[in-house]
Structures are given as C-alpha cells and as structure tokens.
Amino acid sequence: MKRWAAVAVISIMLLFTGCSTVQVSQDFRPGIDFTHYRTYQWRAMPEHSSEDFRLNNPLLHERFRQAIDQKLAVRGYAQQTPADFLVSYTYSIQTRLESEPYGTSVGFGFGRYYRYGGLGFGNSLATRQYDVGMLAIDLQDAVSGALIWRGVGSERVGMHSTPEDKTVFVTRLVDAVLAQFPPR
C-alpha cells in the first residue's frame, strides 16, 4: 500500500513540475561568443512609478535583483567592476481577457403527473479578465552598450499575495528566463 501511495505522490509532483506556467522566449545578437562574458554590473535603472501598487513596490524590485544576482552567481558569473556586461530588467503587469468557447445546451423535462412539460434552449459565452506579469531581462555589452541578449517571461499574477508567494513567483520567473542564458 505504501508503494502505491509513493507512486501517486511522485506522479502528482511530476504532473505539476512538468506544467510550468511561465512562458519564456529569448532573442540575442547572432555571432557573439558568450563565453567571453564572465562578469557583470547592474545598469542604472530609472525609478519605478505606477498607479498599480503591485508595480510600485520597492520590496518586489529588491526580490527581482536578488533573484537575478543569485541565478547569475549559480551559473558562474561574478558581479564586479569593470564588468563584461550590464544587467537590467523591466517588469510590467498587463490585463488580458480570456473567453471560453461558445456553448449551447438543450434540455427538456416533465412536471408532476405528466401534466406539465418543457423544452429549453440556452447558450453562453464566458469571458474572464486576468493579469499577466511580464519580466524582460536585458544584457548589454559593457564596452559598446549594445544589447546582446534579452529574455522574456510571463505568468499570471494574483491581486493579493503573501510575501512568500511573491518570492516564489519572482524566483520562478527569473529562473525560467535565465535558464535560456547563455544561448546554445
């Protein structure tokens, strides 16, 4: 019995890890040898101002910087001066609409003692609004200032999250985006 429980738990874990909700893409300058880039610095970034309290949050931006620093350190990149490349990021939240396919239904029924009956037709169109957090990480050559790599990731965001949930969200998003760097 314990064996079946272990198999069930492992199957569920694989199901959830295999269905990553982060969608990622990348773009890079062709012909660049990324093996020459070993050190980085943060590029001066503009102040974040937005009416959305989720974006206008210095704690969130601190989480992004820490997650990017940690991921680059794990991959062997050192933060030092002078640097080979400059790092910056942009985070935004966009509202999107999602609709279900048009549905129709037919129903019929009889009343008590077969005296009353009815036939009904129905149709529906469900539309939902949701928010998507989009992270773009840019890497620029420190000497020329040219953009050499951009990674973009997006995932649905909630309105009210705990600090732990925000940290998990930021880490998952940064890990997914930087998993593409350096390009193969």
- Contacts of residue 177, Cβ cutoff 8 Å, sequence gap at least 6: 22, 24, 135, 137, 151, 152, 153
Query: Rounded to an integer, what distance in angstroms lies between the CA atom of residue 114 and that of residue 110?
Result: 6
Percent of the chain with pLDDT over 70: 79
Summarised one tens digit per residue, pLDDT across range 91-107 is 998 888 877 777 677 77
Assigned architecture for domain 20-98+130-178: 2-Layer Sandwich (3.30)
Give the range among 22-31, 38-47, 81-90, 134-143 with minimum mean pLDDT. Answer: 38-47
pLDDT of residue 117: 66
**Pairing of β 39-42 and β 85-99:** parallel
- Burial category of 163 from C-beta neighbours within 10 Å (exposed 0-12, middle 13-18, buried 19 and up): exposed
Helix (H, G, I), strand (E, B) or coil at 105: strand
Q: How far is CA 136 from CA 42, 118, 133, in A?
A: 14, 57, 10
Domain boundaries, the chain: 20-98+130-178
Residue 153 has a pLDDT of: 96
Output the pTM of the full model: 0.74
How many Cα neighbours within 13 Å face the side chain of 86? 13
Q: Report the share of the chain in percent with pLDDT over 90.
A: 53
Q: Is 46 helix (H, G, I), strand (E, B) or coil?
A: coil
Angle between the N-to-C axes of helices 163-178 and 58-74, in degrees from 0 to 180, rounded to the nearest 10: 40
